[in-house]
Structure 1
Amino acid sequence: MPAKATKKTKNNEAKDNCLIIKSAHAEARVWVYSPTIIRVNISKKFNEADESFAVIQQPQANISVKEKDGLTVVDTGALVLKINPQSLQFNFYTADGCWLDGDYERFGTVWDDAKWSNYRKMQPDARFIGLGEKTGPLDRRGQAYVNWNTDAVDYGPKTDPLYKTFPFFIGLHGKETYGLFLDNTHRTYFDFGASTDHKMYWMAADGGDLNYYFFGAQGVAKIIQDYTWLTGRMEMPPLWSLGYQQCRWSYMSAKEVLKVAGKFRKKKIPADVMYCDIDYMDGYKIFTWNKETFEDPKAMLDELKQLGFKLVIIVDPGIKIDKTYKQYDDGIKKNYFAKYVNGDLYTGEVWPGRCHFPDFYRADVREWWGKSFSALTEPGVEGFWNDMNEPAAWGQNIPPIVKFGDKPLSEVRNVYGHQMSRGTYDGTRKLLKGKRPFVLTRAAYAGIQRYSAVWTGDNTANDAHMLLGARLVNSLGITGVSFTGVDIGGFSGNPTPELMVRWNSLGVYTPMFRNHAMIGTVRREPWEWGRDNETIIRKDIEQRYRLLPYLYSAFYQSAQTGLPVCRTLAIEHPFDFNVYNEAYQNQFMFGDNMLVAPAESVAKKVKVYLPAGNWYRFSSGEAIKGGDVVKADAPLTDLPVFIRAGAIIPMQSVVQNTAEPGDGMLELHIWDGPQATEFTYYEDDGATYDYEKGAFYKRTISFDPAQQLVTLSTVEGTFTSRFKEVRMMMHHTDGHLKKHKPSELTNEPMVLKC
């Protein structure tokens, strides 16, 4: 059937909070969600249930519509949408009339049976950032991508698609910013001028609606805040999950897990987490333990607890076909598994052999799945690693005639991992009875931050992957996912000692700090790289633990505003062309005040772009004027990290795990600068949800450079700080560090002289 463009409208009406425009081939509906968020949905046949896996907000009760110069106009006060009812084309403007984005006048939206494509005008200076876990450069202009969650084994720096789908990007041109979230779970496509002579960009889908949310706030950070308001924000993670995590496919027995954990303590290398990959199970059956190698899980968990470790274990969605297996028997009796279109159960092969796959789109199936975690939580497990949930099966090509209830695979593949993670989170939160679970997933869809952390899948041990990992983490941050990580050292292949050391130093400034490797590769534990390298790795891990007060406060900011912990410089400097330069695109801010410049393992010096302002080298205290490129020393002992002038960074003494009380001293490091600054400091118990009931400790720390004073506001919340004293650490422009005498930390306002 030939493709058809949308035709002249037959009807145009505003009904309650929805504008409805009908044409010969489609119907458009428009809602306002906030003054800076407008939703547009164009469909041939609307599903009146109008469900979203990502969006948690509802549209406003009313919509303001008027007709002007032959156009239908929606005006929110901050954003103006002008619709041509003849061509069904949409254009968005700021309140003062600046054009932001809209349909390309030659085509607009084109339908080809169930498929559609939407063509949008591209400005000569346009840039695009976002889409989450996508390879390639920071600026997506000239690139094309497909969203189809894939078990991307041994992916490379240009592989697409990968494991996750985040159809949200931010566009920039002139001095304007806008965002667009295409909420469609089918296979979708984005082409940012890669093949259109740079006149237009386009997006398309194999099915479903052209259903997008347009964001008109000015400023990248404001758009991220709006997007995460719409799709939800993360909750506070368990504090232990921010410590160092040691993983491997596989630690083959409880004895080996405890041996490795014990060696961390013997060598005084801080760590909080051990992992069990697939070999802890009985025949790779989920929710079981190997009775020979993990014969007493509770005893193992009890000993790990005494050592100050938590355990994270892997779960896959494939349920082994075995009549003696409880989960299989339950699933068959209750009709919980995916089927072919003729009603036969779908069978795919993964680690256990022949398997069925749960229908996680059903609430009762997710509840059953969540309750099954009792076999793991009862011995003491608090961390749950969701893998193989694209979903993956050997051969990588689950047939399109597979259905999950009434949902064909083609419609919901991209959200399978999201729903599995949702079931894991809901179930384990109930089972842990007030404790926060740590949930990790490989596959995801927009909104996953409400349920889970993510990692970037099966990377490879080389410098290109290490640098790509930084870009992937930063891009995931743009799409609302703050708790992210990579397999430090590379999942496959064997890193050189230099690469291992360098990657570990970058891990310090990655939200999830996890060392992981594939079976058959060299061991990756910190002591496996020689005594000198072990010393460097220990020093860097200790730095992570010293920074935990700063990092935990950054996660609080994420939970409140949606701003990520790791931030591409494009968030703060979207119109600075240096930010997009290939030489500097991997740089990022770690929280508000620390700029990290990833460096290859063999590099002795690297060029670093420091945005306008004054900066300090973290390691030396050297003051540096920004707005230019500097050539920074980059020995393996000192990853280039820079501190913004005026920065306030709370730190603590080194502890061996997050459960240790430490010495009770909170260090407030202040780097002198010309402008007054402030920092929101946050604590809670790091373990429970009591913070939701007011059991937290929050205060604003302010630096006044003119008076050389630091002020701590009155404490908000009922939680008692773990720190008893506070010490000022003043970093001056001449490189001098002045260490002040400790002061008692009180809940009342405090003024400290610099």
Structure 2
Amino acid sequence: MKQPNRILGLLCLLLFAGGSKAQPGLNWTEVHPGIWKLTVGKPQRISLLSAAEATPNRRGLAELPKTAFPLDKAGISVKIVNQKTYLRFPLEREEQLFGLGLNFQTVNQRGRILNLHVDHYGGKDNGRTHAPVPFYVSSRGYGVLIDAARYLTVYAGTAVRTDTRNPPVLSDRNTDKKWSSQPYSDAVEVLVPADGATIYVFGGPTPMQVVQRYNLMNGGGYLPPKWGLGFTQRVPTLYSQTDILNEVKGFEAHNFPLDFIGVEPGWHSMAYPCTFEWDKTRFPNPKSFLDSLARRGVSANLWLNPYVSPTASLYPKIKPLAGSHTVWNGIVPDFTLPQARQAFKGHFMQQHLKLGVGGYKIDEVDGYDNWVWPDVATFPSGLEAEPMRQTYGLMVQTMTGSWFRELNKRTYGLVRASNAGASNFPYVIYNDYYSHKDFITALVNSSFIGVLWTPEVRASPSAEEWVRRMQSVCFSPMAMLNAWADGTKPWTFPEVEKAVTEVANLRMQLLPYLYSTFAQYHFEGKPPFRAMNLVEGFGFKPTTVAGTFDATANPYAMSIRKDIKDQYMMGDYLLVAPMFTGEKSRKVYLPAGKWYDFYTGKLVGENEEITINPSLDKIPLFVKDGGLIPMVPPRRQAPKPGEVLPLEVRHYGTLPGSFLLYDDDGVSFDYERGAYSFTRLSVIKDPNDPLKGQEITVPKGKPFGYSASVKWTFMSVGQ
């Protein structure tokens, strides 16, 4: 080890011990309003944020409230020893911690140890996941991001230092029933296996504003094309262009929504490894095929993984720009090299984008360890295998997204791996795991870390599970049936076809609300699908249920923490509480204020826990008092540029309310140059009429795809 590092390490060891003063040399710089940055040691040449290449949304950041540095600086410590960076951040006794990756079973991460490592999700919340984002949000209204492309180990309130200023209570297990196997810890500690890192602290003052700052620093949330919020069907692997066109006709015959279709590996002339070239037997005329889809209002999304087959025309260009190891016999391009990115761009532009391809499904950029390059792999740029794995999904998203932007064409697709800085990417995460309940928990957790997640549907053993899964996916960032393996259709179970069609139609009716919610994600940084812990007035806190002693199964009587992980908000007003197979009833936790049933307008409760008994044909939905829900009539496809639709606005409750209805052309990036409109929808109380919808002012010279004559429906009047 170099002598300066040894001296710095010894100095930091002394500073890391107790004391009340801030550690000297930690120079926090406010880089954006309410966001502070600290660089320690020698950060690696590539970080998560540098791989994501995000441009901050400065206008959105400037509109958030001013806030002071939210942590006790004296409680933050850094030391660098033997090319490892040790970080420590203070915790208050009642704090809850959220985020730290795309977790599938837990929401509050306090008391957990996580090894943040890009990987397939293996069934445990241990840090190995598709988006191991090293960002946590505190219930006290601040956030911390470690911008290091390494396998980080996070001790989220688990370790107790001997020099702690808040020692846990000492008790005797033999006689004290309050003895705990997990003593109180007053710190989050992070091990970065590198001799430096960049750290960001985000102020609030609320958890939602912390998340907003994080998303806006990373460019603001992505605004999908309108067709991306419609329904998508992914077809079996070896379907030909004829098979796919027949599939589209089948959706038309069943009058079922369909906006884009997923074309699986069989479109390649070779897959696993890939050529990225059309198979001439199954797709003899790709341009004609894509044009035929376009005439039916359907976009094509192509499956790929980025590992190049020796039979591909790209291979000679990529071979000297690839890593030392293969993945499924394909070479791994080093996308830190401009030459590799340029070679892919030229090939993909010619073979796909200029023919009319609408997007990609990027597979296998995550793990398992025996499927991707090993940590002993080397790359021509000199970047090590570990940071390459942590950033590869980011780089592929950045690269492919830029191609569509160059054509002024919005895209929307799927990806298997992501990380910090991904808010502005046109991709939704998916995986091969298939637990319905855990899928909803992942959707909840995605809202803390700036990624989107879909609880996709593939197959079901019963009609009940089928309809419940379809209901959930229609209230997510991507309504997708992934039938690549068995060719299932939305109408596979005839006994629930009507209910499945109704919920798909409801999603289409809610497009004005959903599209405006995604616009809020872009301009304000608010995630479109939100954990209840981000909702203002949500007073419920996870409780800890004492574990029962068992000499073999639970010898330390570990307690069980109860999270709110099976309900969430879609936008500002709509609370979604999915049902699962076998359930006849469920509990729903309502935030402050009155809440009303979406379908009937009836009052259901206020700041309390309720029990509901919904029918099979409905997903439970609740609307906040004063909430406005703009809707259009049922339709099979998202509106095209220039279409003008009738608009119904539903009002719930007794309070006045308002909603900012967003619109643009739905397909291009012209909105970034001002070609968009926000139109305020308002319900007021009138002396002669308790509730009244105000006439809207249609914006002049701006896109607005709705009729100026609004149908106002007061759902709770007379209830």
Normalising by the smaller structure, the TM-score range is: 0.7 to 0.9
Offset of residue 44 of structure 1: 5.4
Distance verdict in 2 for CA 1:247–1:605, change over 3 Å: same
CA contact (8 A) 1:234 1:449 kept: yes
Offset of residue 716 of structure 1: 4.4
Q: Percent identity over the alignment?
A: 21
Corresponding residue for 1:171? 138
The separation in 2 between residues aligned to 1:183 and 1:702, in whole angstroms, is: 42
- Equivalent runs, 1:268-347 vs 2, <5 Å: 268-284=255-271, 285-322=274-311, 325-332=312-319, 335-338=320-323, 346-347=324-325
CA contact (8 A) 2:696 2:708 kept: no
Structure 2 residue corresponding to 1:484, chosen from 436, 453, 456: 453
Corresponding residue for 1:355? 330
SS at match of 1:179: strand
Moved more, 177-186 or 619-628: 619-628
Higher relative contact order (CA closer than 8 Å, sequence separation 6+): 2
CA deviations on 1:184-233 (whole Å, 9 max, x unpaired) are 11111222124543323211122252321011220112111211222221
CA deviations on 1:82-103 (whole Å, 9 max, x unpaired) are xxxxxxxxxx54xxxxx4x763
The separation in 1 between residues aligned to 2:462 and 2:223, in whole angstroms, is: 36
CA contact (8 A) 1:578 1:609 kept: no
Structure 2 residue corresponding to 1:188, chosen from 152, 165, 186: 152
Offset of residue 57 of structure 1: 6.2
- Residue 710 (structure 1) aligned with residue 697 (structure 2): no
Structure 2 residue corresponding to 1:103, chosen from 71, 75, 82: 75
The separation in 1 between residues aligned to 2:327 and 2:400, in whole angstroms, is: 22
Corresponding residue for 2:553? none
CA contact (8 A) 1:489 1:499 kept: no
Q: CA RMSD in A?
A: 3.1
Distance verdict in 2 for CA 1:602–1:489, change over 3 Å: farther
Corresponding residue for 1:70? none
Corresponding residue for 1:744? none
Corresponding residue for 2:419? 445
Corresponding residue for 1:161? 128
- Equivalent runs, 1:423-434 vs 2, <5 Å: 423-430=399-406, 433-434=407-408
The separation in 1 between residues aligned to 2:48 and 2:129, in whole angstroms, is: 28
Distance verdict in 2 for CA 1:642–1:211, change over 3 Å: same
The separation in 2 between residues aligned to 1:511 and 1:59, in whole angstroms, is: 22
Corresponding residue for 1:411? 387
Moved more, 46-55 or 379-388: 46-55
Corresponding residue for 2:85? 116
Distance verdict in 2 for CA 1:513–1:459, change over 3 Å: same
CA deviations on 1:19-63 (whole Å, 9 max, x unpaired) are xx998xxx7553221342211222157869998335756999xxx
Offset of residue 110 of structure 1: 4.1
The separation in 1 between residues aligned to 2:682 and 2:57, in whole angstroms, is: 38
Distance verdict in 2 for CA 1:347–1:57, change over 3 Å: closer
CA contact (8 A) 1:238 1:437 kept: yes
Distance verdict in 2 for CA 1:631–1:426, change over 3 Å: same
The separation in 1 between residues aligned to 2:664 and 2:440, in whole angstroms, is: 29
- Residue 79 (structure 1) aligned with residue 68 (structure 2): yes
SS at match of 2:694: strand
CA deviations on 1:260-311 (whole Å, 9 max, x unpaired) are 1111000101111111111111011332111111212222222222222111
CA contact (8 A) 1:664 1:725 kept: no
Structure 2 residue corresponding to 1:508, chosen from 449, 459, 474: 474
Corresponding residue for 1:586? 566
In structure 2, give the amino acid aligned to 1:167: P
Distance verdict in 2 for CA 1:128–1:55, change over 3 Å: farther
The separation in 2 between residues aligned to 1:559 and 1:692, in whole angstroms, is: 10
The separation in 2 between residues aligned to 1:509 and 1:367, in whole angstroms, is: 38
In structure 1, give the amino acid aligned to 2:128: P
- Residue 525 (structure 1) aligned with residue 489 (structure 2): yes
Moved more, 40-49 or 281-290: 40-49
SS at match of 1:535: helix
Structure 1 residue corresponding to 2:584, chosen from 604, 608, 620: 604
CA deviations on 1:676-719 (whole Å, 9 max, x unpaired) are 32111011111112222332232111221355232355444623
- Equivalent runs, 1:612-631 vs 2, <5 Å: 612-631=592-611
In structure 2, give the amino acid aligned to 1:381: V
Corresponding residue for 1:198? 184
CA contact (8 A) 1:237 1:436 kept: yes
- Equivalent runs, 1:714-729 vs 2, <5 Å: 714-716=697-699, 718-729=701-712
Distance verdict in 2 for CA 1:579–1:634, change over 3 Å: farther
TM-score by length of 1: 0.81
CA contact (8 A) 2:237 2:265 kept: yes
Gaps of 5+ in 1: 13-20, 61-75, 81-91, 94-98, 339-345, 737-754
Moved more, 292-301 or 246-255: 246-255
Offset of residue 349 of structure 1: 3.4
Corresponding residue for 2:550? none
TM-score by length of 2: 0.84
The separation in 2 between residues aligned to 1:9 and 1:680, in whole angstroms, is: 51
In structure 1, give the amino acid aligned to 2:90: K
